[in-house]
Structure 1
Amino acid sequence: MTVLGTLALVLVGLAVFVCGAALGHGAARRQREHAADGDEVRALARALHSAGLAAAPLRGGLGPDTARRAARRLRPLLAVPALAVTDTTSVLAWDGAAEHHRNQLEARLTGPPRSHTFPLTCDAGGCPVRWGALAPLTAGGRPVGALVVCAATETSAHARAAEAAAARLSLDLDLAGLDRARADAYEAEMRALRAQISPHFIYNSLASIASFVRTDPERARELLQEFADFTRYSFRRDGDFTTLAEELRSIEQYLELARARFGRRLEVTLRIAPEVLPVTLPFLCLQPLVENALKHGLEESVERSVITITAEDEGTEARVAIEDNGVGMDPERLRAILRGTAGAATGIGLSNVDRRLRQVYGDDHGLVIETGVGAGTKITLRLPKFRPGVQAPPPV
């Protein structure tokens, strides 16, 4: 091999080595950069998780207990010697050192809180708190309190941290307001449904029971027990959901009381698949539909009323249908009822149940109603056997 050939081989080898080294160094650098990015992402995730844990107590609203728990969780995250949570007039919670500054802080709460920094003075030697950064807490867009970060020296970093943390706490206060609004709306709906349980039905049930007191005391006693159980269930307050078994039991009691009044004019058929009895559904969901069937049957006609209730297993869902041979309804009027535009006292039960089913399970699980004037009514609903967050309370 010539010298030039040997030199060429050496140069090629050196080039391959240099390129390999360069690629190796580049790969190592990218690996270090990716590792650094991963560390930063993990650190950010931990910070967000910690901030969420710190803010979580305020989902219960702003009060001394929730403020104390939030301050205790938040101060280590911000790494400051003291931290306070206030409402618009007083300090609700102080966590950390130098609580003797509480009065100075409360003296500043003379109006709607606004973001600012201020000095904190005292005669205590070695006090770790000499200034504070205040950031307002809001709920529903209005100021309801403040987060105050206290430290030895004034820094813009602490002021920014106070504002960021206050924004996170305010988010949970907004969620608390939504929870309260949802609970109030649910309670209003329950009041409307309970009011829909006709006073005439209650009066007529008691009158029917009274009619048996002399002629059949044992029957009167049984009906009185059914009435007590029915009203206890209908007016309970322990949870948004129940099981299909409990709801059907209440319906049986309702219909037993109706039979005491109407006798053989009322015929009821139940076809229930045992495997769907544990399915969970919104509380007081079927009873208004059965009352609707009774109202448009015996109470609006002189003919014999036939009500059929079926509950079938359809794989991942339970299918429930309530059918009557009553006077039926004009479909256009039915649509107005479901839209809530048919009048304040019309169809409260139907529209209420339809709305709650859609809220819990989605729009494709609203009521399906087949009806026509003089053609009776069939109401069908499909209940998923499992849905996260949908759980009935344990039986009493």
Structure 2
Amino acid sequence: MAAWAWLGRRHLGTGADRTTFRTLHTASLTTPALRGGLTTASAEKAVRHLRSLLGAPAIALTDTTDLLAWDGRFSHHGDQTGPLARQVVESGATTVRQRAALPCQDPSCGLRQVIVTPLTVEERVVGTLQVFAGSASAGLVRAADEVARWVSGQLELAELDASRTRLMEAEVRALRAQISPHFVYNSLTAIASFVRTDPERARELLLEFADFTRYSFRRHGEFTTLAEELGSIEQYLVLEQARFGDRLDVTLRIAPEVLPVVVPFLSLQPLVENAVRHGLAGKDGQGRISITAVDHDFEAVISVEDDGLGEDPERVRRALAGDTTTDSVGLGNVDERLRSTFGDDYGLVVETAPGAGTKVTVRVPKYAPGVHA
């Protein structure tokens, strides 16, 4: 028993080791809140842990003008945090304010100094960390600067996350805008042609059209499941088959195991639309499109292949590089979103040549951290 107890104490390391562990653990507790940006809610969750890091009697977090959260003693000084923040926002530098700048009617208050240090995102002051103490030692000032620098780093990451989300949303809006007006017009024309001759089919096509547009213009989530994306593609193809009739032959081979895999929203539908528009619309006779999704170890491999007119590889290369003058619907957009989500190993692979048809292959991991529908 004694030997076990000795080994247990040794495993905990030295006093310095334990202090380091506690500091890192306390810092980690603030991370989820700060990664939400500097708001009242995030500040209220983080402020207690930040005070523990600094060992100060009280701290406050502010935006550029107002108090967001307070923890510790001296809360009657809360109304002074706004003016203190505004002064530091103007100077952009850490300052130490003396008691004379902190009027107080409580003779037993004990507050003597406050350290006010800026929180910055991309060299722009977005708020302040304020440390209220009986004495602002040089060590406490340095510690406040370091903690503020760490908080600023977390806020920078939050801004990057928000920018990435805004970019994703903008790219999806761009894809929605590229859904061909001709497709909408042709679908409605095809539906209208069946109203008199086959009312039941006209009704079914109208429901398919409604479901397709509802999915394409939904407002929630940047990700979806492969099952949902393929369901929308099937609706799109039903509408195109109503237009092309027997000229359009579609084959789907989908492994059930990959249906729950998560993919970026509207990442496959543009590939199928390209196959119809560029592969078949200008071709004489019947055209074939094959869509497959197979289970391959830790990945799902999806391909969209047509036997249409094919493309100039250089033109495709420019489309993947983001050249908007090409007529390939969203290829660069889809490629960029796949790479941003899963890494550079997961971009589009396009095999094509004039007169040889086109095959586009997409690989996605079955699981990726932070990616969920």
**Equivalent AA in structure 2 for residue 117 of structure 1:** V
CA distance in 2, matches of 1:275, 1:48: 41
Confirm or deny that 1:38 pairs with 2:20: no
Tell me how far 1:50 sits from its aligned partner.
Answer: 0.6
Correspondences of 1:23-34 after superposition (within 5 Å):
none
Query: In structure 2, what is the equivalent of residue 353 of structure 1?
Result: 334
In the superposition, relative to structure 1, how do residues 121 and 314 fare at CA in structure 2: closer, same or farther (>3 Å)?
A: same
TM-score, length of structure 2 as denominator length: 0.90
In the superposition, relative to structure 1, how do residues 35 and 261 fare at CA in structure 2: closer, same or farther (>3 Å)?
A: closer
Confirm or deny that 1:390 pairs with 2:366: no
Confirm or deny that 1:211 pairs with 2:211: no
CA contact (8 A) 1:370 1:379 kept: yes
Confirm or deny that 1:130 pairs with 2:112: yes
Confirm or deny that 1:59 pairs with 2:35: yes
Correspondences of 1:96-115 after superposition (within 5 Å):
96-108=72-84, 109-110=86-87, 111-115=90-94
* Secondary structure class of the residue paired with 1:129: coil
Choose the corresponding residue for 2:343, options 329, 340, 362: 362
- The percent of aligned pairs where both chains have the same amino acid is 55
Q: Deviations over 1:285-343 (max 9, x none)?
A: 111110000001332233322111122232332222211111111111111111123x3
Correspondences of 1:309-324 after superposition (within 5 Å):
309-324=291-306
In the superposition, relative to structure 1, how do residues 383 and 69 fare at CA in structure 2: closer, same or farther (>3 Å)?
A: closer
Correspondences of 1:222-261 after superposition (within 5 Å):
222-261=204-243
Q: Deviations over 1:353-379 (max 9, x none)?
A: 222222333333222211111111111
Tell me how far 1:149 sits from its aligned partner.
Answer: 0.4
Query: In structure 2, what is the equivalent of residue 73 of structure 1?
Result: 49
Correspondences of 1:165-204 after superposition (within 5 Å):
165-204=147-186
Choose the corresponding residue for 1:152, options 101, 113, 134: 134
CA contact (8 A) 1:318 1:384 kept: yes
Tell me how far 1:233 sits from its aligned partner.
Answer: 1.4
**Equivalent AA in structure 2 for residue 86 of structure 1:** T
Q: Deviations over 1:161-200 (max 9, x none)?
A: 2111111111111011101110111011101111121111
CA distance in 2, matches of 1:312, 1:69: 44
Choose the corresponding residue for 1:282, options 248, 253, 264: 264
CA contact (8 A) 1:134 1:159 kept: no
CA contact (8 A) 1:112 1:143 kept: no
CA contact (8 A) 2:336 2:347 kept: yes
* Secondary structure class of the residue paired with 1:297: helix
Confirm or deny that 1:82 pairs with 2:58: yes
Tell me how far 1:125 sits from its aligned partner.
Answer: 2.0
> How many residues in Structure 1 have an aligned counterpart in Structure 2?
360
Tell me how far 1:219 sits from its aligned partner.
Answer: 0.8
Tell me how far 1:347 sits from its aligned partner.
Answer: 2.6
In the superposition, relative to structure 1, how do residues 55 and 160 fare at CA in structure 2: closer, same or farther (>3 Å)?
A: farther
TM-score, length of structure 1 as denominator length: 0.85
**Equivalent AA in structure 2 for residue 79 of structure 1:** G
CA contact (8 A) 2:97 2:114 kept: yes
CA distance in 2, matches of 1:333, 1:227: 31
Structure 1 window deviating more from structure 2 (80-89 vs 107-116): it is 107-116
Tell me how far 1:122 sits from its aligned partner.
Answer: 1.9
CA distance in 2, matches of 1:128, 1:346: 71
* Unaligned segments of structure 1, at least 5 residues: 1-30
CA distance in 1, matches of 2:279, 2:31: 54
CA contact (8 A) 1:266 1:304 kept: yes
Query: In structure 1, what is the equivalent of residue 95 of structure 2?
Result: 116
Query: In structure 2, what is the equivalent of residue 296 of structure 1?
Result: 278
* Secondary structure class of the residue paired with 1:60: coil
Tell me how far 1:264 sits from its aligned partner.
Answer: 1.2
In the superposition, relative to structure 1, how do residues 390 and 43 fare at CA in structure 2: closer, same or farther (>3 Å)?
A: same
Tell me how far 1:35 sits from its aligned partner.
Answer: 8.0
**Equivalent AA in structure 1 for residue 225 of structure 2:** T
CA distance in 2, matches of 1:247, 1:275: 15
